[in-house]
Each structure stands twice: as C-alpha cells, then as structure tokens.
Structure 1
Amino acid sequence: MELPLNGSNGELRHRNVATNGNGKSAVTDEGRKMDELLDNHQTYEFGGPWGVTAMMIGFPILMYYLWICLWFYDGKVVYPTSTEDIMPFLNRMWVHVRDDASPNAYAWKVYSGLFFYQLFLAIVMPGYQQEGLPVPSLGYKTLMYNCNAAYCLYATIVTAAGLHYYHIFRLTEIIDNYGHIMSVAMIYGFAWSFGMYFLTVATGNQIRMSGNFIYDVFMGACLNPRIGSVDLKMWAEVRIPWVIVFFLAVSGGCHQYEQYGYVTPNMAFMILATWLYFNACAKGEECIPQTWDMYYEKWGFMVIFWNFAGVPFTYVYSVVYMASHDPETYRFSTPTYVFLFTLLLSAYYIWDTSMSQKSRFKMQCQGMTEFRKTFPQLPGGTIQDPEYIQTSHGNKLLISGWWRYSRKPNYVADWVMSFCWGVIIGNATIIPYFYSVFFITVLVHRCGRDFERCSIKYGKDWERYCSIVKYKFIPGVY
C-alpha cells in the first residue's frame, strides 16, 4: 500500500519528530474533547462489582492453594476425591494456612523492613529527573519523576549481602518462611488498597469513579499518589515486587548451596532471569512514566495488591519447587540448558529494546534528544529517524523498529520470558506455569482495553495504524 508522507491528519511522517514548538506534544481541541470523555467512567470491566469482588476474595485463596500444593504435596494439584472428602480437604488446607502461613512476628519484620527501607531509599537517593506525559485530568500538566531505582537496587543488594554475611539476617530464611511472608504481603495489599481509596475520596482527588464502592476500591480512586518526590504508583511497581522476586530466587540459591554444596543451573537460571527483570525496571525507570500504568491506570486494589503480593508470590513458583525438591527431579541435558538460556536472553533483548524504543519515541515527541545511560544499554534501544502516524488527536503512533511488526512486541517478549520461568523445571509440576498462563490472560484482556480506548481516541487514524501494523502480537500469526 502506498503511504503518503505529507498531509494534515493521519499522515505518515519520519526523520523529525514534530512538537508544538515548545518541546511539548500538541493536543488538538478534538483531542481534548476525547480525553475528557475517556477520563469519565464509561463501563464496568472484569465483570463489574460482582466480578471484582470474586477476584478480591478468590485470588488470595488461589495463592494459598497453589503454595500448599507445591510445598506440601510434591507439586501435585490436589482436590477432594468425593463429596465426603470436601470438608476434610478444606480442613487440611486451613491447617496449612493457620500453621504454616500465619502472619507471625518474623514475617512482619521482614516484609515491613523491606517495604519501609525501599521507601526510605526512594526518598533519600539521588536520581535522574524524568518528565512524564501530559496528564489530561491535570490540564495537561506534566509531572516530574525522580528515577533512582538503580541506586536503590544496588544499595539493597549491598545491604542484604552485608546482613547475610554477618549472620544478622540470613537470606536462606526467606524461602523457608514463604507462607508467613506471603500472608503479611496480602494484608499490606488489602490495607493500602482500602486506605488509599478512603484518603483519596476524603481529599477530593478521585477520578473516573463508577459510584460503586467495591468496584472503585478495586480499580482505584487516585491517579498520581505521591509522598514528596516519590510517585507511589511507580515506586510500588518497581521497588516492592521485583525486589522480593529477586531475593526469593537468591534465597532459593542459598538454600540449595547450604543443602547440596552447589547451585543447580535451573536455580541459577531463575536468579539471572529475576535479576534481568529487576535491573531492567531500575535502569530503564525513566521509561515507566511514558507507560499506560502511569498515564492512565489508577492506583487501586488491582494494581496495589498485585504489586505488593501477587507478583512476588506467584511468579516464582519454580523457585519454591526447586527449594523443596531434589535436583534430580528437574535436571536437564547441557543442550537444553543452552537453549533455555539463549531463549531467555533473546526474549529479554527484544523486550528491553522495544520498551526503550517506544518510551524514547514518546520522549522525542516532548522535545527530548538526550537519554539516560545506565547498565546495560543495548543496541537498538533508540530509533533514529522514526516513522509515525500523526493523528488528528495530536498524538503520534510509532510504526518503526519492533513496533512496525507488532502492536505489542514488548508483551510477546515478556510472555516468552514468563514461559521460560515455568519451563526451567520441565514437567515436574504444572504449577510454575501458572505465571505464563495467568500473564497471557492479563495481556490479552489488557490489550483489548487498550485497543478499544485507542479506537475511540484516534478513530480513523487508528484504523490506518492497524492497516500498517497488522498483527496484535506475533507477526504473521496473530
């Protein structure tokens, strides 16, 4: 199809990413009206109030159940075998939760210590100042983000290493107290979700409300919660879940070393995989203000509980299994290890660079020409002379780099990594595959929300974009 290079709206442009002359993306009057429409509650998602209530109750139960299956039943998915067995089965599950996942003093000390240490580091550490996207609900004001996660990451690693070395806090104990710490994480998730809702409503800062209490708690009331220079939404997305995920993997490695005198390649894989993700979020933190999470998603139970408890205690089931089972149950051949490490690193490269391409393109649209340099900077992270579609809204839709071949190349690569986190224990148990199965469900639903919103926002320009970037996920497939 022949693509015109000139025109007023819906045009394809390249080389210079135009702004309104002041280094800011220009939003047209039509765009402002559409943004005002989208900043109001339109329809219920996730099955409405009943659906979100079921999720708020059901997901913690599921987390307990899967952990119990891994830790106490050899990774088998257990269930009642008859109607007479239902009550005894439920009683056994409850006993495990009561005795092995109680929110004891140790768990409160560990989780609270990490939580407030991360908040302290976020407040005091120097960082890179990154301007966010113009926020329609703030009159297109842009917020500044203090991106200091990289400093906080290494400060946390050094602190943990020191505490472990001097036997003040042994990292091995984290995996041994998985259930107890998970319960405290859940309590934090619920407490902050309801607390932020009431605080936001009390101060009159709520946005996009439905009027249904439980639904608004789930979706959130506030958009940009802050403590001083710390954006709580961005802080919680990076500092809490990925710190815990990484140290759970490290704890599993320490557990293996103390028990067997070595760390298996499978556990080393998970330590590397979790570090890559943790470090990527930290070293590319300046890209996060350009994302849907910061720009549009509110800070409610859906995001808070998931960051505080869901991510750290459901993504590393493979680590939990390996820490409680003989390595012979999941050992692979050398070529298999080479393949898995290669697949992980290849997917990571695509994920890292595609996220960087999209975020730096948005920065270019705001007049930025110099970008932060942190380790590791991968080739291909910045597109020179990017092609894009200029929309009548005023925004620009990128159609260069990885984004020429898929509307969500970052999601595809992200999912491949999640699948690797399950494959690393082979067919020993299906439970570690929960992450990738759940993740693809979330991604497909999220894309549906995103694409529907873009269709409303950009109209014919979105149709034009879809005619150029035909595939939602995998080029040539879907």
Structure 2
Amino acid sequence: MSTVAVDASGLKLLASNGKKPTNMPTEEGMKVDQKLDQHHSYEFGGPWGVTAIMTGFPILMYYFWICLWFYDGQLVHPHSVDGIKPFFARMLQHVREDAYPNAYAWKVYSGNIFFQLFLGWVMPGYKQEGLPVPSLGYKTLTYNCNALFSLYATMITAAVLHYTELFRLTDIIDHYGPIMTVAMIWGFGVSLGTYLQAVATGTQLRMSGNFVYDYFMGAALNPRIGPIDLKMWAEVRIPWVIVFFTAVSAACKQYETYGYVTPNVAFMCLATWLYLNACAKGEECIPQTWDMYHEKWGFMVIFWNFAGVPYTYVYSVVYMASHDPSKYRFSTPTYALMFTVLISAYCVWDAAMSQKSRFKMQTQGITTFRKTFPQIPGCIVQNPTYIQTSHGNRLLTSGLWAYSRKPNYVADWIMSFLWGAIVGTATPIPYFYSIFFITVLTHRCGRDFERCAIKYGKDWEEYCSVVKWKFIPGIY
C-alpha cells in the first residue's frame, strides 16, 4: 500500500512509494514543461498592449454603466467636434458624483471580501489533490473545497440581513456605481500586492523583466493565505457571488417597485445561480483546470475576478433594474424557449467540465467522487478512451470531448448570449458579455492549442485528427 507525505504548505509529495503515477510526465515531458515555464514572447500586444487594456477596460466599464443608468441604454457619443469636450465633461461628472467610492461602498464590497475569506478559512470542505505542478518539482497542492458550504452560508446570511433591514439587498443595485469603483481599486491593489509579495519571496515565475507586463500577467502561480488558495478562492467566491446577488438585488427592487418580479429578472436569477452553484458544487474539479495548473495570478485574472466579471456580465440586470418592464417584455413561448435553451446549455457545460476534470482525477488514481446537487447525467465518463502522449499525459477522446476539443466553451458562450438576449433589442450593451467572451475564448483557445502543440508534438497532431472540430462538430 502506497503512502504519501504532506508538508506544512499543503504540498503533497508524489510517488513516495517509489512508483510513478500515471499522470507524471516522462523525462522528455519534463524538458518540455521546463521550456513552457519560461517567458518566450509577449502576449496581448506586449507592454503597450496590456497598458491599453488596464486603462481602457475600466473606462469602458464606466461608459457602459453610465449609458445604461442615465441614457436609457443607448450608446451616447458626441455629435460634433465641438461636442467632444462637453461630452467627456459629462462622463467625468457622472464618475465623480455617481460612482465616487464612498464609505458605504467600501463597507459593502470589502465586507463581502472579508466575509468570504472568513468562510473560506473556517467552513468544512472536501479535500482535493491538484495536478502535479512543474514549477514545484511536480508536487501537488491540496485544496480545501468548501465553496458549497460558504455559498449557502452566504445566502442565509444575506436573507437575514435583508429581512432584518440591517442591509437591504436592493442597495447592491442602487449603489452599483460606487461599489464598482471600489471593486476596481481592490483589483488594482490586490494585483500589486500579489506581485510584490511574489518578488519579495522569490516565488515569481515566467517573468519577462518588464514591470508593466509582469504586473498584468502576474508573478505568482499559487499564492495562499493559510488553507485558502487565493486564486481558486477568488475565481469562485468573488465574481459569481456578486453576479448572483446583483440579480437578486434587481428582483427585490422590482418586487418593491411593482409588486412582482418579471420573468426576465427571474431568468437572470436562475442563470446566475446555476453558474454560481455549479462552481461551488463542483469546486473539486477546479484544481484540475489550466487556470490552477498554469495561469499565473496577475492583474489579468485578479481584476477580472474582483471587478470585470461582476460588473460587466450583468448589464442586462442593470438595465432591467432601472427601466420599466414594458421595454423588454416577451411572449410566453419566447420565455419558454429561452429557459429551455439556458438549462440545456448549462447541462452540456456542466457535464463537459466534469468529464474532463474527473478524467484527470482518474489518471491520479482518484475513483471516488463527491456527490453534490445537481449531478448532471453523464458527468463521469465510464471506461474513457484517450491518447497516451509521450509527455506522460492523456488526452481524453470520450464523452462530449469526442465531438469537440472545447465543448464547454460552446455551451458557455450560449449562456452568455442569453444573458444579453433576455432584454431583447431594448439596448445593445448587455450583448457586450457574449461579444467580449467569444473574443476571450477564441484567444484563450489559441493560447491553449499552441501550448499543447509544443507540449505534445506529434501526439497533439494525432489527437486533432481524432477530435477534428475545435468548437462545433461539423462546422468549426
């Protein structure tokens, strides 16, 4: 019987019985991993490109919010050269007066951050081993997956605060602008703190030598506070909790204003809860993903989790919370179709994510999986087929992954499109999520495929010949 040792940092030492696990790379694979763990070229346009992203995206967030809240969801712009200066003056005035990071906004946003940290520290969880990490000498990190307990503790706490009027949930949408500003400040600040901590402790990885670019991409791979893996904690506990409660806030506001909740807002409450609950109930699958295994924790990920996702993915909710329901009312068959497509896309997305992650767990010798609600049929592939690579890894060719290299991306994008389509043609701004998302997914897919081509060589070519389609079978 094999034994394992765990050190004080939560790293599990592999192969303590003298045998190599099935997911450990070969010597050739280790050389490739060493190459991939070094900086070779700039992405996102290099230092100038990431500077443009870090300055332009917050500006875009303010612009869309102002258009939704103050200009009936229309994309306002100056109508003449002489109107440029007054236009920007109005925009800046809205930011100064309507999005100022006041003390209440700091209390609401920061209170949630510290509450989620507290829950992440004290709540019981399911212990899950991650994949071997090359930069850690192929050790694995152990993750305390307690997001599900934390989620329901948060929901109960929010309900108590709302009904006792200690904190009205409607304040989330009513103070959207100031809270969004605080979220941005948190995003920039945590990015800088994490970067400096990694450099100070000598744990930086794949550095380019350019501060701006490295700040954007990140320096640390697996920063932790006690039992909390910050990268995984932030991916689940911050953005999707805020997204869900923003939808709930809009529902509460509608009920207080009209005495009912529209099917459109109810749709967003369901859609956001499905996403949040899926991340929480399947949290043990996250350590097997590329985000945890390879992506560094820098501005690109941190700002997106702290501010980008929660304050750009819910533009439909912001619009519906500030406009009369007559502007986005649908017919009953349309509602039925949208709910059906949403649930269908969710099932495909959830099953695909589960199949891939649990296949990776199987290569680690993990065959018993926890049961949480809801379990999607086919979420675990029985007797999976795969391509054994010379690197040492296995590439899944069964289940949904037999038809597409990224079936999860397709389903995920369909859900993102529905999050905008729920307001119909009332305003184009909520469609930003799906437009931006497909750009990100396409770029990320290119990064992933390029990395796989280097990592697996001819085995990747064989895999592509077996699983021919990148996204949609028979189309692309």
Aligned 8 A contact 2:67 2:75 in 1 = yes
- Aligned partner of 1:11 in structure 2 is none
Q: Distance in 1 between matches of 2:24 and 2:43?
A: 31
1:75 to 49, 73, 76: 73
SS in 2 for 1:297: coil
Q: Distance in 2 between matches of 1:435 and 1:465?
A: 31
1:49 to 44, 47, 50: 47
Aligned 8 A contact 2:397 2:467 in 1 = yes
- Using the TM superposition, give the Cα deviation of residue 426 of structure 1 relative to its aligned residue in structure 2, in angstroms: 0.2
State the Cα deviation string for residues 141-170 of structure 1 (Å, max 9, x = none).
000000000000000000000000000000
SS in 2 for 1:143: strand
- Aligned partner of 2:92 in structure 1 is 94
Aligned 8 A contact 1:253 1:267 in 2 = yes
Aligned 8 A contact 2:69 2:318 in 1 = yes
SS in 1 for 2:140: coil
1:431 counterpart = 2:429: yes
Q: Distance in 2 between matches of 1:230 and 1:196?
A: 14
Q: Distance in 1 between matches of 2:468 and 2:425?
A: 35
Give the letter aligned to residue 116 of structure 1.
Answer: F
1:129-148 matches, within 5 Å, as 129-148=127-146
- Aligned partner of 2:9 in structure 1 is none
2:207 to 201, 206, 209: 209
2:175 to 171, 174, 177: 177
Aligned 8 A contact 1:25 1:395 in 2 = yes
- Using the TM superposition, give the Cα deviation of residue 27 of structure 1 relative to its aligned residue in structure 2, in angstroms: 1.1
Q: Distance in 1 between matches of 2:309 and 2:376?
A: 26
1:257-276 matches, within 5 Å, as 257-276=255-274
SS in 2 for 1:151: helix
SS in 1 for 2:73: coil
- Using the TM superposition, give the Cα deviation of residue 21 of structure 1 relative to its aligned residue in structure 2, in angstroms: 5.4
1:214-225 matches, within 5 Å, as 214-225=212-223
- Using the TM superposition, give the Cα deviation of residue 173 of structure 1 relative to its aligned residue in structure 2, in angstroms: 1.0
Aligned 8 A contact 2:216 2:298 in 1 = yes
- Aligned partner of 1:333 in structure 2 is 331
Give the letter aligned to residue 257 of structure 1.
Answer: Y
- Aligned partner of 1:356 in structure 2 is 354
1:249 to 244, 247, 250: 247
Give the letter aligned to residue 337 of structure 1.
Answer: Y
- Using the TM superposition, give the Cα deviation of residue 199 of structure 1 relative to its aligned residue in structure 2, in angstroms: 1.1
SS in 2 for 1:42: coil
Q: Aligned residue pairs: how many?
A: 460
Q: Distance in 1 between matches of 2:215 and 2:23?
A: 32
Q: Distance in 1 between matches of 2:21 and 2:221?
A: 24
1:384 counterpart = 2:407: no
2:27 to 26, 29, 48: 29
Q: Distance in 2 between matches of 1:52 and 1:195?
A: 18
1:467 counterpart = 2:453: no
Give the letter aligned to residue 346 of structure 2.
Answer: Y
Q: Distance in 1 between matches of 2:110 and 2:297?
A: 20
SS in 1 for 2:424: coil
TM-score under structure 2 length normalisation: 0.96
State the Cα deviation string for residues 424-461 of structure 1 (Å, max 9, x = none).
00000000000000000000000000000000000000
Q: Distance in 1 between matches of 2:219 and 2:258?
A: 49
- Using the TM superposition, give the Cα deviation of residue 378 of structure 1 relative to its aligned residue in structure 2, in angstroms: 1.2
Aligned 8 A contact 1:330 1:425 in 2 = yes
Structure possessing the higher relative contact order (Cα contacts under 8 Å, 6 or more residues apart): 1
1:272-421 matches, within 5 Å, as 272-421=270-419
Give the letter aligned to residue 85 of structure 2.
Answer: M
SS in 2 for 1:397: strand
1:191 counterpart = 2:189: yes
Give the letter aligned to residue 132 of structure 2.
Answer: P
- Aligned partner of 2:233 in structure 1 is 235
Aligned 8 A contact 2:24 2:132 in 1 = no
Aligned 8 A contact 2:203 2:220 in 1 = yes
Aligned 8 A contact 1:290 1:362 in 2 = yes
Aligned 8 A contact 2:123 2:150 in 1 = yes
Q: Distance in 1 between matches of 2:79 and 2:19?
A: 70
Give the letter aligned to residue 53 of structure 2.
Answer: M
- Aligned partner of 2:82 in structure 1 is 84
Aligned 8 A contact 1:217 1:301 in 2 = yes
Give the letter aligned to residue 123 of structure 1.
Answer: W
Q: Distance in 2 between matches of 1:101 and 1:160?
A: 24
Q: Distance in 1 between matches of 2:433 and 2:469?
A: 24
Q: Distance in 2 between matches of 1:427 and 1:437?
A: 15
SS in 2 for 1:464: helix
Q: Distance in 1 between matches of 2:258 and 2:135?
A: 56
Aligned 8 A contact 1:23 1:368 in 2 = no
TM-score under structure 1 length normalisation: 0.95
Q: Distance in 1 between matches of 2:166 and 2:214?
A: 42
Q: Distance in 1 between matches of 2:450 and 2:20?
A: 31
Q: Distance in 2 between matches of 1:48 and 1:26?
A: 33
Q: Distance in 1 between matches of 2:203 and 2:451?
A: 23
Aligned 8 A contact 2:22 2:392 in 1 = no
SS in 1 for 2:83: helix
Q: Distance in 2 between matches of 1:293 and 1:112?
A: 25
- Using the TM superposition, give the Cα deviation of residue 26 of structure 1 relative to its aligned residue in structure 2, in angstroms: 2.8
- Using the TM superposition, give the Cα deviation of residue 224 of structure 1 relative to its aligned residue in structure 2, in angstroms: 0.4
- Using the TM superposition, give the Cα deviation of residue 24 of structure 1 relative to its aligned residue in structure 2, in angstroms: 4.7
1:476 counterpart = 2:465: no
Aligned 8 A contact 2:109 2:183 in 1 = yes
Structure 1's consecutive aligned runs of 4 or more residues displaced over 3 angstroms after TM superposition are: 20-24
CA RMSD of aligned residues (A): 1.0
- Aligned partner of 1:17 in structure 2 is none
